[in-house]
Amino acid sequence: MIDSAQALCGFAVGTVVGLTGVGGGSLMTPMLVLLFGIHPATAVGTDLLHAAITKAGGTFVHAKKGRVDWRITCLLAAGSLPAAVITLLALHTFTHGLGGSKFISISLGIALLLTAAALALRNRLRGLSIAYSPDTARHPALTIVTGAVLGIVVSLSSVGAGALGISALLFLYPRLPAARVIASDLAHAVPLTLFAGIGHWLFGSVDWTLLASLLVGSLPGIYIGSHLAGRVPEAILRSILAAMLVLAGGKLIAF
């Protein structure tokens, strides 16, 4: 049965995602934990599958327009997918079936603080990379390692596939057009969140009714937000979002 409050939460987050292109997991998961009292592992697992579904549509659009750099996407996946498997197996082994509520809450809080920093410093990081990097491309191993780090963070928290991934790619590929960076990161986020989400499901930490409620709200929210994009200054939205993430991250670490 669809929960109207959860659907409204999905709509609000979906609208932010449509406006800014980021904020899905970094807003959805802490709201589920702090506002609805969902177990952290269930919130993470459910939001991972929610992200895989919602990001798939955006990836399809970007791919049709030729914006995805599949080489970068594959390099990221080469690191992130094995890292996700190892992380989930370790979490299942050492927290007795993904039941480590406190550990996941702290991981989520740290991921939110890192995401807030990435949003605030994104342009500066790209500028530094342009100033100090050679004209030649970075070594592929750096992209694979970046993918591995994202795989760990996303599997633990469902946060980072968007804001952290984009910031990392802007640093690694500062001369790549922003549209291709965003599209390539989005394309990588689909298999990563799907892979990690299935892992959480196999370990029993996905709520399918909650997932349905979130999708009922988020899909129209993303559609509306995407049509409103550009009417509100992105810098203001990003600052507000970063401040919200700092507050939520601090609460989750102390949760």
Tell me: pLDDT of 140 over 90.
Answer: no
Per-residue model confidence (pLDDT) at position 132: 61
Rg of the chain over Cα atoms, rounded to whole angstroms, equals: 17
Per-residue model confidence (pLDDT) at position 198: 94
Give the mean model confidence (pLDDT) for residues 46-64.
87
CA 245 to chain centre: 13
Question: pLDDT-derived band of residue 121, with 50, 70 and 90 as boundaries?
Answer: confident
Q: For residue range 196-240, what is the model confidence (pLDDT) as tens digits?
A: 999 999 988 899 999 999 999 998 888 887 777 666 666 676 677
Asked if 72 and 140 touch (Cβ cutoff 8 Å), the reply is: no
Per-residue model confidence (pLDDT) at position 159: 83
Give the mean model confidence (pLDDT) for residues 80-107.
79
C-alpha neighbours within 13 Å on the C-beta side of residue 35? 12
Per-residue model confidence (pLDDT) at position 20: 65
Question: pLDDT-derived band of residue 21, with 50, 70 and 90 as boundaries?
Answer: low
Question: pLDDT-derived band of residue 126, with 50, 70 and 90 as boundaries?
Answer: low
Per-residue model confidence (pLDDT) at position 239: 72
The angle that helices 140-157 and 101-132 make with each other, rounded to 10 degrees, is 150
Question: pLDDT-derived band of residue 95, with 50, 70 and 90 as boundaries?
Answer: low
> Where are the strands (E) in the chain, listed by range?
none
CA distances from 186 to 63, 119, 179, 227 (A): 10, 16, 11, 19
Tell me: pLDDT of 33 over 80.
Answer: yes
Per-residue model confidence (pLDDT) at position 172: 86
- Nearest Cα to 53, choosing from 167, 224, 216, 178? 216
Asked if 235 and 242 touch (Cβ cutoff 8 Å), the reply is: no
- Kind plus residue range of the DSSP H or E element containing 43: helix 40-64
Which of 158-167, 216-225, 237-246 bottoms out in mean pLDDT, i.e. has the lowest?
237-246
Q: What tokens were used for 75?
A: 């390099």
Which residues does 243 contact at the CB level (< 8 Å), separation at least 6?
A: 116
Asked if 46 and 211 touch (Cβ cutoff 8 Å), the reply is: yes
- In angstroms, the CA 194 to CA 178 distance is 24
Per-residue model confidence (pLDDT) at position 248: 74
Give the mean model confidence (pLDDT) for residues 114-130.
71
Per-residue model confidence (pLDDT) at position 48: 93
Q: Return the DSSP state at 233.
A: -
Asked if 27 and 179 touch (Cβ cutoff 8 Å), the reply is: no
